[in-house]
Structure 1
Amino acid sequence: MLFHSFDFLIFLPIVFFVYWMFYGKTKIQNAIILIASYIFYGWWDWRFLLLLLVSTLIDFFFGLIIHSNTGRKKLIYLWLCILNNLGILFVFKYYNFFIESFTELSQSIGFNFSPYFISIALPVGISFYTFHGMSYVFDIYRDKAVPTRNFINYAGFVCFFPLLVAGPIERASNLLPQFIKARKFTVENLVNGFRLILWGYFKKVVIADNSGILASDVFNQYGSASSFELILGAFFFAFQIYCDFSGYSDIAMGVARLFGFELLINFRTPYFSRDIAEFWRRWHISLSSWFKDYLYIPLGGSKNGIAATIRNTIIIFVISGLWHGANWTFIAWGLLNALYFIPLFLMGRNRNNMDHAADGKLIPSFREIVGIFTTFTLTCFAWIFFKSTTINDAFSYIHKIFVNHNTGINLDYKQSLVLVLIFILIDWLFRTDVIPFKIIKSRGIRFSSYIIIFTLICLFGSFINKQDFIYFQF
Structure 2
Amino acid sequence: MIFNSLDFAVFLPVVFVLYWFVINKNLKLQNLLLVVASYIFYGWWDWRFLGLIFFSTILDFIIGICLKKQQRPTIRKTLLWCSIIVNLGLLGFFKYYNFFLESFHDAFSFFGQNIATQSLNIILPVGISFYTFQTLSYTIDVYKRKLEPTTNFIAFSAFVSFFPQLVAGPIERATHLLGQFYKKRIFNYDLAVNGLRQILWGLFKKVVIADNCAQFANDIFNNSEQFSGATLFLGAVFFTFQIYGDFSGYSDIAIGTSRLFGFDLMDNFRHPYFSRDIAEFWRRWHISLSTWFRDYLYIPLGGSRGSTFMKVRNIFIIFIVSGFWHGANWTFVLWGFINACYFLPLLLAKTNRHNIGEIAGARTLPTIREFSAIMITFVLTVFAWIFFRAKNVHHAISYIQGIFSNFHSYIDIHTYGSYKKLILLIMFFLLLEWQGRNNRFAIEYLGITWKRPVRIAFYYALIFIIFWFSGSRQDFIYFQF
User: Which stretch of the first structure deviates more once superposed, 438-447 or 219-228?
Assistant: 438-447
Counterpart pick for 1:436 among 435, 442, 453: 442
**Which amino acid counterpart does residue 201 of structure 2 have in structure 1?**
W
User: Which stretch of the first structure deviates more once superposed, 448-457 or 11-20?
Assistant: 448-457
- Segments of structure 2 that go 5 or more residues without pairing to the other structure are none
Cα deviation digits, residues 161-199 of structure 1 (max 9, x gap): 000000000000111011011111011122011101100
Shift of 1:373: 0.1
**Counterpart residue number, 1:6:** 6
CA RMSD of aligned residues (A): 1.2
**Counterpart residue number, 1:150:** 152
Pairing of 1:319-358 with structure 2 (within 5 A): 319-358=321-360
**Which amino acid counterpart does residue 38 of structure 2 have in structure 1?**
S
**Counterpart residue number, 1:452:** 461
**Counterpart residue number, 1:263:** 265
Shift of 1:435: 4.0
Counterpart pick for 1:469 among 468, 472, 476: 476
Q: Specify the SS of the correspondent of 2:172.
A: coil
Shift of 1:405: 6.1
Shift of 1:447: 2.2
Shift of 1:110: 1.5
**Counterpart residue number, 1:128:** 130
CA distance in 1, matches of 2:159, 2:414: 48
Counterpart pick for 2:425 among 409, 413, 419: 419
Cα deviation digits, residues 220-272 of structure 1 (max 9, x gap): 11001111110110000000000100000000011111111010100000000
**Counterpart residue number, 1:85:** 87
Counterpart pick for 1:309 among 296, 305, 311: 311
**Which amino acid counterpart does residue 159 of structure 2 have in structure 1?**
F
CA distance in 2, matches of 1:251, 1:315: 32
Give yes or no for contact 1:195–1:436 (8 Å, CA) kept in 2.
Answer: no
**Which amino acid counterpart does residue 5 of structure 1 have in structure 2?**
S
Give yes or no for contact 1:125–1:164 (8 Å, CA) kept in 2.
Answer: yes
Q: Specify the SS of the correspondent of 1:162.
A: helix
Give yes or no for contact 1:224–1:409 (8 Å, CA) kept in 2.
Answer: no
Q: Specify the SS of the correspondent of 1:44.
A: coil
Shift of 1:355: 1.1
Q: Specify the SS of the correspondent of 1:297.
A: helix
Q: Specify the SS of the correspondent of 1:223.
A: helix
**Which amino acid counterpart does residue 465 of structure 2 have in structure 1?**
L
CA distance in 2, matches of 1:277, 1:249: 21
Counterpart pick for 2:384 among 377, 382, 385: 382
**Matched residues, number:** 472
**Counterpart residue number, 1:64:** 65
Give yes or no for contact 2:201–2:443 (8 Å, CA) kept in 1.
Answer: no
Give yes or no for contact 2:267–2:288 (8 Å, CA) kept in 1.
Answer: yes
Q: 1:443 to 1:253 in 2, by over 3 A?
A: farther
CA distance in 2, matches of 1:156, 1:297: 29
**Which amino acid counterpart does residue 267 of structure 1 have in structure 2?**
F
Q: Specify the SS of the correspondent of 2:201.
A: helix
- Segments of structure 1 that go 5 or more residues without pairing to the other structure are none
The percentage of aligned residue pairs carrying the same residue is: 52
Shift of 1:321: 0.3
**Counterpart residue number, 1:29:** 30
Pairing of 1:44-193 with structure 2 (within 5 A): 44-70=45-71, 71-193=73-195
Q: Specify the SS of the correspondent of 2:362.
A: coil
CA distance in 2, matches of 1:275, 1:56: 39
**Counterpart residue number, 1:410:** 414
**Which amino acid counterpart does residue 410 of structure 1 have in structure 2?**
H
CA distance in 2, matches of 1:458, 1:414: 19
Give yes or no for contact 1:145–1:173 (8 Å, CA) kept in 2.
Answer: yes
Give yes or no for contact 1:24–1:183 (8 Å, CA) kept in 2.
Answer: no
Give yes or no for contact 1:437–1:449 (8 Å, CA) kept in 2.
Answer: no
Counterpart pick for 1:279 among 278, 281, 294: 281
Q: Which runs of 4+ in 1 moved over 6 A?
A: none
Shift of 1:436: 3.4
**Counterpart residue number, 1:223:** 225
Shift of 1:408: 4.1
TM-score by length of 1: 0.98
**Which amino acid counterpart does residue 50 of structure 1 have in structure 2?**
G
2:44 maps to 1:38: no
Shift of 1:409: 7.9
Give yes or no for contact 1:226–1:409 (8 Å, CA) kept in 2.
Answer: no
TM-score by length of 2: 0.96
CA distance in 2, matches of 1:51, 1:409: 51
**Which amino acid counterpart does residue 473 of structure 1 have in structure 2?**
Q
Q: Specify the SS of the correspondent of 2:237.
A: helix
User: Which stretch of the first structure deviates more once superposed, 401-410 or 26-35?
Assistant: 401-410
Give yes or no for contact 1:226–1:404 (8 Å, CA) kept in 2.
Answer: yes
CA distance in 1, matches of 2:254, 2:470: 19
CA distance in 2, matches of 1:87, 1:472: 20
Give yes or no for contact 2:359–2:438 (8 Å, CA) kept in 1.
Answer: no
CA distance in 2, matches of 1:384, 1:436: 26
Give yes or no for contact 1:192–1:435 (8 Å, CA) kept in 2.
Answer: no
Give yes or no for contact 2:358–2:438 (8 Å, CA) kept in 1.
Answer: yes
**Which amino acid counterpart does residue 347 of structure 2 have in structure 1?**
F
Give yes or no for contact 1:168–1:249 (8 Å, CA) kept in 2.
Answer: yes
